[in-house]
Amino acid sequence: MLNRTTAVLTLGLAALSAAPALAQTIAPLFAANYALQNYGRPAGLPGSAGGILFDGPDSLLIGGNANSSSGGIYRLIPVRDLSTQRITGFAGPATLVAQAPNIDGGLWFMPNGTLAFTTYSNNNIGQITRAAFDLGTPAAPAPATIINLTPLGVDSSVGTGLIVPPGFPGAGTLKIASYNSGRWFTLPFSPAAPPAPANTYTFGQAVSGLPAGQATSCPEGIFYINTNSPLFQQQNVLVTNYCNGTITAYNIDTQGFPIISTARTLVSNYSGVYGGTRDPLTGDIFFTSYSTGVIAAVRGFGLPVLRCGQADVAGAGQFQGFDGSLTADDIIVFLGWYFNADSRADIAGLNQSFGPDSQFTADDIIVFLSFYFAGC
């Protein structure tokens, strides 16, 4: 098994530079259609970088002090080119919004908006409720729960995780990948009952998803790719393989697991590669480097599904996230946010003026319903 120090030394001396050159390379197969953009190491981010996740178009979350007991989740504010909407940099330093001890490469939202993250090397999943997370600095809430995955059958230690998005095989299931073994699992989850903290989840026994002897190489990020991108004629999953410094594309099976024999390298020479999250406005996919803290994006992917207006907040089964249609699921999810005082329901002020006012009133519901009945 490779620990992080050994792996970084194996990959080279890039971690010794505070502002490394862009060493990552798009593989020849993809070079005509895809390009890399390097954003450097964000100011104010401490220690090694962890997972990365967009929280809407104007907020990028990133792990800091990864794999350390002082780990945390930090927010970056993107600055965009007004004509292309592409991110050109970040405004101000990273700000701490939540504690996340030992945060690793996995960072995602559960269906109700609770933020989940993987930890290394103690093989845990932490959960931070949306209400606590929205408080942000200076509160920097601690996780509501930290659940050990070893008794649930996940090989220690976990590297990353993600809920398969709508439209893909296995949609709505939680995939967990072990860093040390490279094996993948489906981890059942359900809303936790009291006395567990409100808005958290419990997890069931993991089910292995790859044939015996098949594995990815120190997985630290998972991201699913649809067929609206060049050279992706089938649905794929991108995996950041930390130990060999690559981002690799795999076809997926009927459960959303990678088919190892279909591996195609998208990016090579990516020291300490972690994470993976799509810019909701441009389709660019952002990654981090554990060893350097540098953020980079791969450009050229198809745009995500177009949002069907401001009321498009959920998919089938109240899976949170836009799906290009307006149904009762959108109303149910919005009202859930509203009655739980979730900031995502704060969309209106006095007299139905659009924009947050830090209050939850009938104005928010009226404005939401006006968007909903306006249709797509």
Q: Where are the domains of the chain?
A: 4-299, 316-374
Instruction: Name the token pair of 113.
Output: 């908006």
Please give the radius of gyration of the chain, using alpha carbons only, rounded to the nearest integer.
20
Cβ atoms of 136 and 98 within 8 Å: the answer is yes
Instruction: Name the token pair of 41.
Output: 């190491």
Q: Which fold has domain 4-299?
A: Neuraminidase (2.120.10)
**DSSP sequence for 111-158:** TTS-EEEEETTTTEEEEE-HHHHHH-TTT-PPPSEEEESGGGTPPSSE
pLDDT at 350: 84
pLDDT at 4: 59
Number of C-alpha atoms within 13 angstroms, CB side, residue 3?
4
pLDDT at 23: 82
- Other C-beta atoms closer than 10 Å to the C-beta of 77 total 14
Query: Phi then psi for 14, rounded to 5 degrees?
Result: -60, -30
pLDDT at 9: 40
- Long-range contacts of the stretch 8-12 (C-beta < 8 A, 24+): 8/271, 8/272, 8/290, 8/291, 10/243, 11/245, 11/271, 11/272, 11/291, 12/271
- Long-range contacts of the stretch 333-338 (C-beta < 8 A, 24+): 334/365, 334/368, 335/365, 336/112, 337/113, 338/364, 338/365
pLDDT at 15: 33
Q: Which residue has the tokens 């791969």?
A: 298
Pairing verdict, β 87-99 and 103-109: unpaired
Helix (H, G, I), strand (E, B) or coil at 175: strand
Distance of CA 225 to the CA centre of its chain: 14
Instruction: Name the token pair of 248.
Output: 């690799």
Residue ranges for the chain with pLDDT beneath 70: 1-22, 135-138, 304-308, 376
Helix (H, G, I), strand (E, B) or coil at 356: coil
> How far apart, in whole angstroms, are the C-alpha atoms of residue 166 and residue 323?
8
Strands in 115-119's sheet, in edge-to-edge order, are 103-109, 115-119, 124-128, 145-148
Neighbour-count burial of 220, counting CB atoms closer than 10 A to its CB (0-12 exposed, 13-18 middle, 19+ buried)? buried
pTM of structure: 0.81
Query: Phi then psi for 348, rounded to 5 degrees?
Result: -150, 155
The residues, any chain, with a CB within 8 Å of residue 13's CB and separated by 6 or more, are none
The residues, any chain, with a CB within 8 Å of residue 355's CB and separated by 6 or more, are 347, 348, 349
Q: Is the dihedral of CA 124, 6, 295, 175 positive or negative?
A: negative
pLDDT at 13: 32
Instruction: Name the token pair of 60.
Output: 């990028």
> How far apart, in whole angstroms, are the C-alpha atoms of residue 100 and residue 72?
4
pLDDT at 12: 37
pLDDT at 162: 97
